[in-house]
Structure formats: structure tokens, C-alpha cells
Structure 1
Amino acid sequence: MASKVVRDPIHGNIGLDGFFTGLVDTGLMQRLRNVKQNGLCYLVYPAMNSTRFEHSLGVYHLAGHLSDRIGLSEQDSITFKAASLLHDVGHGPFSHTFDVMGCYGFDHEKESRRIVLESEVSDVLREGGVKPSDVAELIAGKGRLGGLLSSEVDVDKMDYLVRDAYYAGVAYGVTDVERMLQSVRLEKGSVVVEEGGLEAAESLLINRNLMYQTVYRHHTKRIAESMMTHALLKLADTRDKAFQLAALDDIGLMAMMRSSKGYVRDITSRLDGRRLFKDVFSEKIVSLTGESRKELSENSRAVESTIAGDHGVKEGYLLLDYPEIRMSEFKVKVKTGEGLKDIGEVSVLAKSLEESEREKLTVNIYSLPEDRDKMKGFKPEDYFTYTQKRLTEWD
């Protein structure tokens, strides 16, 4: 197959040759051109319209460079690059926003593996001399090379942290990707950072911390995505329907939502017009007991329904938002003269960043502006269990 060069604003020229061109040209990969990388972030940062397609190309590009740095064999390098290119092919519309369909068994990583093993993608891989099963294993983060694509520090994160900062227009893209590529090593199947690359690893954590606080968990973005996920759950009332929606791109899903009736249509109209719910309650997660956090994580919809009913708010118009807690990057292993250590053990900065991240996580409740008066008598202690420290602060 003919070689191609793709011009990318992050990495410059990205070369595609051989069967990689064929993989990119499959319908399943082309679908990613219409799947936004960051869900509804564009409602806050207007330029955040980048897609899973260019991110996949970026990860593929970095995989090639990392393969050279650590001296992978030609076959391992090809397999690693193929997995990097295909790792997000199973994402539903609006990317992680659609992960709410996990309640019906949808998992974008599992879907990516299924596509690699069962679709036209599988045929292209075989024609290129690559075993689809090896690619699927890498996408799952398994095998001796799995950590290069899915771990505390991997080519996936190296691309999206810089790419997302660029499109958000924020000055947080400080990750020293080139230095990271030089510092990453494989140790008994695990990905580690050499001690000389500690500053580069710290730059990744700084970037990650700032991006989560100001972009990924921006309060307006959280409100919009809570509205969207509630509408999706109303639209997909069965497992079969959920998986039918998963095969759509953003355009197809929005068309279906706009043509729906009742609640789904109302929420979609509000999102289209950026007429969003308002924040009526916010509390730091660290103020809640472990038992209360577990309850919110596992049964937030039930708690939400109880609060709405107690305050006379119509179902679906009071939204309880308990964020998914992702802290794996703070478990990066650093290779020191005394052996492998967690980055927090050798970096005061990394430890403080992790503490800052935990301190800023909040549970929120949103409602329509016209329903805010109904929530004035809301007593959070009736629904959440607070730590003794937080109760003492109120006294």
C-alpha cells in the first residue's frame, strides 16, 4: 500500500505506510473522525472539537518512537504500533461520556478488542502479518508490552495530555514528551521511569493535575455531561439499545436524541442551546466517610431519586454527580539505586500533587434554575455521612 504523511499540530508529520494505511482507511477507524475526544468539553472550551481519530494517530506515532528508544524487535514494534492505532476504536459516541452505558455491560476497551478480533480490522492485521490476538492483548494492557499502552505512564497519556491542552487553549501542555520517551523502560513486564527522567515524569503529573482541575472536571462541563448521561440512560432502556447506540458516532447519536420525545428531547434541546442546569450543592469528597463515598459510588441514582422526591423535584431534573476517581498516574514506578519506588516516595512534588487532587474532588447536585428554591431547605447530613473532622468544622 502507498505511504501517507499526515500533518498533525502536536507531533508534526506522522508517517503511515504498509498495512497501517489500510487500518486507517477501514470504516471503523474513519468513524472516529466523528467521535469527540473530550465529550462535551467544547461547551466550555470551544476549540475542543478534536476527535479520537487524531488522538489515535498521535498514540501510534509515539509508539513508533518509543519502540526505537527501547529497542523492540521489528515484529513487536509493528504489533505495538497497531495496538496503539486501534486502542480507541471501540469508543462510543462522545467518548467517555458514553461510558455510562457500563450499566448495560458496555466497555469501550472490550469493544475495541472485539473489533480487532471480529471485524474487517482483523483481516487487515492478518494481511500485514500481525496476529489480531496479540493486538487485542496489548489493548487490554496485558502481556510483556501491555504496560507501554496502558499503565501509569504510557503513550496514550503522553499524547492526550498535550493534545487536549493544545485544543483547550490552556498553557498546561508542559509534559516533556521527548524526555519521557527517553526515560521509560520495561522491567519484568512493568513500565518504569529511570531516575534521570524524574523531572519529565513530574511534568506529566503537573500537566495531568492542572488539566483535571480546570478542563476535565470543569464545573460547567460536569453539569453538561450529567445532563447528557441522564438523557442517554432514558434513551437506552435495554442492553440491545445501548449497544446499538454505541455503534453510532456523535452526529448519529445527536440526530436520534433530537428526534426523540419527552425528557430526552428536552435535555437535548437544552444542551443544543447551552441552557444548562445550575449547581445547587457542592461538597468535598474528603469530607465524607468511606462508607458514604462507597454508597455514592455504587448507588448515586438511588440517592439522587430520594433527594429529588423529598424536595418535590421532577424525576430527571435533579442530578447527583459523583465523579469517577482516577489516580493511577500517581503510582508511577521510578527506578532508583535502591530499587523501584513509587514516585511519591522520591518526589515531594508528586506527593503534594496527589494530595491536592484528592482535596479538590467534589460531589455536586444540579437542578433547573427554576427549581433552586425547592432546594433551599436541603440538609446534606440527611443523605451523606460526614467525617468527624468536617462535623467539627461546622460546630
Structure 2
Amino acid sequence: MHYQEEQYKVFNDPIHGHMELHPLLIKIIDTPQFQRLRNIKQLGSAYFVYPGASHNRFEHSIGVAYLAGQITEALSSRQPELKITARDILCVQIAGLCHDLGHGPFSHLFDGLFLPKMAEKKMKDGDTEEGEKLKNWKHEQGSCDMLDYLLDKNKLPPVMEQYGLQLEEDLDFIREMISGPLDTDKAKDQEWPYKGREKEKAFLYDIVSNKRNGVDVDKFDYLARDSYHLGIQNNFDHCRFMKFARVCEVNGRQYICIRDKEIDNIYDMFHTRHCLHRRAYQHKVNKIIEHMIAEALLKADGHIKIEGSNGEMFTLSTAMNDMEAYTKLTDNVFEQIINSSSVELTEARKILQDVLSRKIPKFLGETKPKEAVKDWEKLISDWKTMLAQHLPPEDFAVIGTKMDYGTHVFLQQV
């Protein structure tokens, strides 16, 4: 494939410096569906605790696309026997660029807290089917749905073909890199569950979202970017990792591996992740504000209408069922509630006003389970029952947080 030099664009990024991106990536970036990510905070409510945490999913996604291209091109250059094609590289970059398209307002707060709260409410009201649907919905699913909508709405499939992509195969590959096997039921019974690429290129599936051990370019970017904006030290050197990365065959499968002497760098990666969770992501005030915002969204849900396709109206909790409506749903819903004079939004507005004026519930204390928790819902329920003997249930909340060093990295001599 031949491209004119001027078709590439360069982004100046505080984390990765000058990033040169393929023209097809630029066409995806320059769509309303991708530009939406400018209005979704990377760290959600952490911005109310760390004033520097103002960065968005937009710049993170571009950074992941850049790193995805860097490591794939490096592997191709060092190991030509892998037969990594230009199509492979472009697909991996697109997956990196689009992996977070499905995030809702305040990132993980939407599908990690608000939707589960809404699911619990639906189940109490007897709507079990809708409750299960909300409980199981994840932003990766939304990313694939938004990608399909983005491509169709902006008439990009013919453009992708002009750049050498084979749509039926390559779109499956991109979706699989974002969310895993497309048919999860069949995948359990198959040795190779993917459709987009053959088993010989298994290592490509570990670049953007590594389901095996969590070592991927998504983490490389957010560790560096979040640390930079939070003012927290990051000792992990992702550039060094990419220099030493090689694809090796282990137990009949191709994996991205590193030399044993580089293991300290990987330890630093998981240690940095743990520090960010302890000091920022799971910060006690951040968690309190997270629950306040989720509660406000819950109270506002039936009173905010978002127009979707064919003029159909959706609520906050149903907008992800229609990508035209979901494109309009961003962190701006916070200002929409705050600035509204609607009587129906009075309770939600009061909660968000309390967030802004720092009238937040007090942190009473914490405890660590002596053993690994197998059922978080039961544990939290038990704690609520116990505390209800001393306090009115409406006067307190029990919040469970999981803090660890991430997925295990297995060491094996090859």
C-alpha cells in the first residue's frame, strides 16, 4: 500500500511526544462519535479530588493507538518470520483507537456503578430481564456497537477498503481485540475461539487488551498518562518493554514475551498500577463522590430524555441501546442536571450541588477482610445488616473496593 506523506498527521502529546498517525485513523478521529470522548473524563470523579486529573478518554485513546502501532511495527521489523502484514498493523491501531468508544459519563462510574444500581432498582421493581441486561452490560460491548455505528454513519467502510482492509475479516478482528471472542458461548468449547485471525497470530490479540495477564498498551498509556496528571511517580518504562519484547512459542501458542532480566520492569508496572488504585482510583473521597454522582444519575434517570434514531427518546440507563442517543451522553449530563430548573431533578441537583460545595458524607472507617472475598454482594449485605443495628440504614453506605497487584504473570523458560 502506498500513501502520500502529507496524509499522515502528527499529534504533539505530553506523554509520547510527537505521534504520527495513519490517515485512516485521522478519519475515525474526525467523527462526532470519536470526538465525544473529549467530554468524558479519563478518571471520572477523581477530578473532584485531584485538580490535575482533567484529561479525557480522547487523548488516552489516541495514545493507545500510537503505542499499538509502535509495538506491532517493532515486532514486525525484528521478527519478519511472524509475517505481520500492513493490514494487521492497521487493525491493531484501529482497535487501540476505538477500544474506549463505549464509555459512558465519568468513564467506569457509568457501567461499574450507575448501571448496577439501576439494575438493582429494576429487579426490586420486578423487571428481572431488564435488570440482568443492565447488570451485565460493559463498556467493551458499547465500544463495538459505537464502532459499527461510527463506520456506518460516516460512510467509512469503502474508505477502509481503499486502504487495503478486508472488511468481513478485519472488522471481526478489530471487535475481537476490543471485547474478546464474538461468540462467547461457542468459544468455551473451541481451542481457537477467534474469527479475525488464525492461531499463528495469537499474539496480536494481546497487544491492545491482554485478557491473559493484563500487560498491554492500554495499560502502558493510562499508567503513564494518569501518573503524569495526578503527580504520582511512574517507574514503569513502557519504551524499554517494547524494545525487548519478542514473540515466542509457548505450549504451542505464540505469545509476546520478554527476557527474564526485564522482569523488574514488569513488577514496576503492576506496582504503579497498585499505587494509582490506592492513592487515586480507590481514594476514599473519590469513592464517596463516585457514589454521590451515581445516586444523582439514578434519581435523574427517568427525567432526562435523549433523542435517538427515528426520533425515539431514551433515558440515561437506556441510551446505550441506541448509538445515536449514546453519542449525546457525556459528562455534560452533570451540568445539565445542575443548571436545570426542573422540579423532577430537584433531588439529583441537590446531590451534585453538595459535591461542588464539598458537602459530602464523612468517611467513618475501613477494614480489611482476613481472607479472600468470594461473594462481595453477601459481604456488603452482612455489613449493612450489622451496622443497621446501630445506625439508621439511610444514614450510611458500605462500599467495597478490590485492591490487588493485577493478573498473575507466569514465568516460563523458552
Per the TM superposition, whether the score is higher than 0.5 is: yes
Q: Which runs of 4+ in 1 moved over 6 A?
A: none
Shift in alpha-carbon separation, 1:141–1:257, aligned structure 2, 3 A = farther
TM-score (norm 2): 0.72
CA distance in structure 1 between the aligned counterparts of 2:19 and 2:85, rounded to whole angstroms: 21
Using the alignment, how far apart are the partners of 2:319 and 2:377 within structure 1? 31
Q: Contact between 1:87 and 1:112, CA under 8 Å: does it hold in 2?
A: yes
Q: Which residue of 2 aligns with 1:12?
A: 17
Percent sequence identity over aligned pairs = 28
* 1:229-257 residue CA offsets vs partner (Å, 9 max, x unmatched): 22223333699540327541111343135
Does residue 1:138 correspond to 2:150, yes or no? no
Relative to structure 1, the CA distance from residue 154 to residue 75 in structure 2 (aligned partners, 3 Å threshold; closer, same or farther) is same
TM-score by length of 1: 0.75
Q: Check whether the contact 1:147–1:189 (CA below 8 A) recurs between aligned residues.
A: no
2 CA distance for matches of 1:257 and 1:268? 7
User: Is 1:214 the counterpart of 2:253 in the alignment?
Assistant: no
1:153 aligns with 2:211: no
Tell me the matched-pair count: 329
Gaps of 5+ in 1: 338-395
RMSD: 2.7
Counterpart in 2 of 1:166? 228
1:197 Cα offset (Å): 2.3
Instruction: Quickly say closer, same or farther: Cα 1:326–1:206, change in 2 above 3 A.
Output: closer
DSSP-derived class of the 1:5 partner = strand
Deviations along 1:348-395, one digit per CA (max 9) or x if unpaired, are: xxxxxxxxxxxxxxxxxxxxxxxxxxxxxxxxxxxxxxxxxxxxxxxx
Q: After alignment, is 192-201 or 32-41 more displaced?
A: 192-201
- The corresponding residue for 1:2 is 7
How far did residue 204 of structure 1 move?
A: 0.8
Distance in structure 2 (CA, Å) of the matches to 1:196 and 1:51: 35
Does residue 295 in structure 1 map to residue 378 in structure 2?
Answer: yes
Matched, 1:277 2:361: yes
The Cα of 1:147 is off from its aligned counterpart by: 1.6
Q: Which of 308, 317, 332 lines up with 1:242 in the alignment? A: 317
Aligned counterpart, 2:61: 56
| CA shift in 2, pair 1:108/1:312, >3 Å | same
Matched residue type, 2:258: V
Matches of 1:181 and 1:289, distance apart in 2: 34
- The corresponding residue for 2:397 is 319
Does the aligned pair in 1 maintain the 2:270–2:406 contact within 8 Å?
A: no
Q: What SS class does the counterpart of residue 275 from structure 1 fall into?
A: coil
Whole-angstrom distance in 2 between the partners of 1:125 and 1:181: 31
Which of 73, 78, 98 is the aligned partner of 2:85?
A: 73
Contact 2:237 2:265 in 1 (8 A): yes
Residues 281, 86 of structure 1: alpha-carbon distance in 2 compared, 3 angstrom cutoff: same
Q: Secondary structure at the match of 1:282?
A: coil
SS at match of 2:363: strand
Amino acid across the alignment from 1:287 = K
User: d(CA) in 1 for partners of 2:285 and 2:229?
Assistant: 17
Contact 1:227 1:267 (C-alpha < 8 Å) held by counterparts:
yes
Partner of residue 177, structure 1: 238
Aligned partners of 1:141 and 1:149 also within 8 Å: no
Q: Are 1:90 and 2:88 matched, yes or no? A: no
